Amino acid sequence: MLPTLSVLNLNGAVPQIAVAGAGMLIMLIDALFHRGSRRWAAYLALLGLAVALARVVESGASAETILDGALARDGLGMAFALVLIVAAALSVLVAMDYLRREEHERAEYYALILFATAGGLAMAMANDLVAVFIGLETLSISLYVLSAFFTGDAASREAALKYLLLGAFASAFFLYGIALLYGASGTTRLVEMGTAIRLAGTQADPLLWGGVALIIVGVGFKLALVPFHSWAPDVYQGAPTSVTAFMSVASKVAAFAALVRLLVVVLAPAAPLTSALLALLAVLTMTVGNILALAQDEVKRLLAYSSIAQAGYILVAAVAGEVGAAAVLFYLLGYAFTNLGAFAVVLAWSRRGEGRLPFSDLAGLGFRRPWTAAALSLFLLSLTGMPLTVGFVGKLYLFGAAVQAGWTWLAIVAVLNSVVSAFYYLRLVVIMYMREAEMPLALQRAGLALGVALAVCAAGVILLGLVPGVALDWARQAVAVVLS
């Protein structure tokens, strides 16, 4: 029987259609009438994202299927979609002046950001492993191209090559995992797969366990979990800074959305073993990420290691499964503001034609650029987890969820890691305010769009830190509505 249009329920897929459609429109307009400034492409991208955002916000607390069951339109999917769209919009704002300054202002940049976002949205809402795979690939392939966007820059080319080779390698693992899970359960639909696994019990089925392990390897690569993290520092450092900002947030949000859904819907019966495996990865990721971050002397690479460690903290709550889902969501919302903001400052301060921002360049900037320096200090304090910032509340809930699920030792390891991380985050603040510049940095004008993005990020970090109640309630209610 052929599915009818009503089965497809295209109305529910408006977020993806709006985002991908705006991307295609940008490509088309640019091909037909390309001359002059490409600022219109950024505005069109923001418009597409606004339409998607409006559609996501107005969706009620119901769970229904889209595209004959391939996607799920439920609280969990919509909440992660919201975080993703906000992150994409901020990334567009951050990129506008930067691309012009670096003389790489081309319309396809914004189209690729939109395509990546559409892929991420598909992952967040996927109810089918094949949909997860296609979303993952749409996101990743767009990011490979974006990493290589500064083709004249050797570091950008190298970053893209490394990302592509390791990303494709990881995708193959993920796909083989899908094949094995399909073999074990006879379906690729998540809900039906969960039922099949529950009925079969958790007796040793090599197909099931092999599939789960391969999928965790594939997702682990995307999230840059240790020991699958080796690509992340090079790619984060080499890619254009605006791309690094976007990918450090978007790919984490999308991959964690898919992981949380898998853990809640499919793997709940297998929880003891998957939790143990994820706990091991969380400990390795936090510890190795933090220790390697200590040895860095360049801000962009430091933030790369820091975001490896941050993925470890988030994984601590993912270990708790259903209990931790709301904490994961809330932390990712805060992390989107914090990390995008931090990379935006790096981008504003780095020399033209150079992505690097060595620690020595930071010296004295605390007083030469008081507002931007205050914003960077705020983001660094939030990444550390200082009270009154969203990082503190977020970590409290992440680790609290782990304790609630009986993983007290894991929470203790995470807290100890946070203490270690304070050393390298606060060192940057100290350099900014307490050291004199030997060779003052020639600063660029920041631009209005970047200023707006920084202000939104800073406001998000402070507001979510001071009055987290509303957002926490939203997160709890959202993750409670899961298609199953």
Residues touching other proteins: how many (CB under 8 A)? 42
Q: Which of residues 378-437 bind other proteins (CB under 8 A)?
A: none
The 64-103 contact track toward other proteins, x by CB under 8 A, reads ----------------------------------------
Distance CA(396)–CA(386), nearest Å, equals: 11
Count of beta carbons in the 10 Å neighbourhood of residue 101: 18
Name the residue among 483, 390, 463, 469 with its Cα closest to residue 78. 483
Check if the beta carbon of residue 417 is closer than 8 Å to that of residue 294: no
8 binds other proteins (CB under 8 A): no
Of the candidate spans 8-16, 73-81, 232-240, 444-452, the one that interacts with other proteins by CB under 8 A turns out to be 232-240
Q: Which of residues 439-458 bind other proteins (CB under 8 A)?
A: none
160 binds other proteins (CB under 8 A): yes
**Which CB atom, from 190 or from 398, has the smaller least distance to other proteins?**
190
Dihedral sign (CA 236, 239, 241, 246): negative
Structure tokens at 308: 């490896």
DSSP state of 189: B
16 binds other proteins (CB under 8 A): no
Distance CA(315)–CA(335), nearest Å, equals: 14
**Which CB atom, from 56 or from 293, has the smaller least distance to other proteins?**
293
171 binds other proteins (CB under 8 A): yes
Of the candidate spans 61-69, 87-95, 156-164, 454-462, the one that interacts with other proteins by CB under 8 A turns out to be 156-164
154 binds other proteins (CB under 8 A): yes
- Classified as helix, coil or strand, 283 is helix
**Which CB atom, from 186 or from 370, has the smaller least distance to other proteins?**
186
Distance CA(428)–CA(357), nearest Å, equals: 12
Distance CA(325)–CA(314), nearest Å, equals: 10
The 182-221 contact track toward other proteins, x by CB under 8 A, reads xx--xxx---------------------------------
Check if the beta carbon of residue 125 is closer than 8 Å to that of residue 55: no
Strands 71-73 and 64-66, sheet pairing: antiparallel
Considering only 11, 62, 151, 408, the residue that binds other proteins (CB under 8 A) is: 151
**Which CB atom, from 157 or from 427, has the smaller least distance to other proteins?**
157
374 binds other proteins (CB under 8 A): no
Q: 235: buried, middle or exposed (CB in 10 Å: 19+, 13-18, 0-12)?
A: buried
Q: Which of residues 109-148 bind other proteins (CB under 8 A)?
A: 130, 133-134, 137, 141, 144-145, 148
Query: Who contacts 117 (Cβ-Cβ below 8 Å, separation ≥6)?
Result: 19, 49, 84, 85, 88, 250
169 binds other proteins (CB under 8 A): yes
Considering only 29, 106, 176, 374, the residue that binds other proteins (CB under 8 A) is: 176
232 binds other proteins (CB under 8 A): no
Q: How would DSSP label each residue in 211-259?
A: HHHHHHHHHHHHHT-TTS-THHHHHHHHS-HHHHHHHHHHHHHHHHHHH
Distance CA(272)–CA(177), nearest Å, equals: 19
Of the candidate spans 166-174, 346-354, 392-400, 414-422, the one that interacts with other proteins by CB under 8 A turns out to be 166-174
**Which CB atom, from 178 or from 401, has the smaller least distance to other proteins?**
178
Check if the beta carbon of residue 251 is closer than 8 Å to that of residue 135: no
327 binds other proteins (CB under 8 A): no
351 binds other proteins (CB under 8 A): no
**Which CB atom, from 258 or from 449, has the smaller least distance to other proteins?**
258
178 binds other proteins (CB under 8 A): yes
- Classified as helix, coil or strand, 64 is strand
The 281-310 contact track toward other proteins, x by CB under 8 A, reads --------------xx----x---------
Residue with tokens 């926490």: 472
**Which CB atom, from 145 or from 253, has the smaller least distance to other proteins?**
145
User: In whole angstroms, how close is the CB of 35 to other proteins at the nearest point?
Assistant: 25
Distance CA(481)–CA(170), nearest Å, equals: 30
Query: Which positions lie near other proteins, rule CB under 8 A?
Result: 130, 133-134, 137, 141, 144-145, 148, 151-152, 154-155, 157-162, 164-165, 168-169, 171-173, 175-176, 178-180, 182-183, 186-188, 233-234, 237-238, 295-296, 301
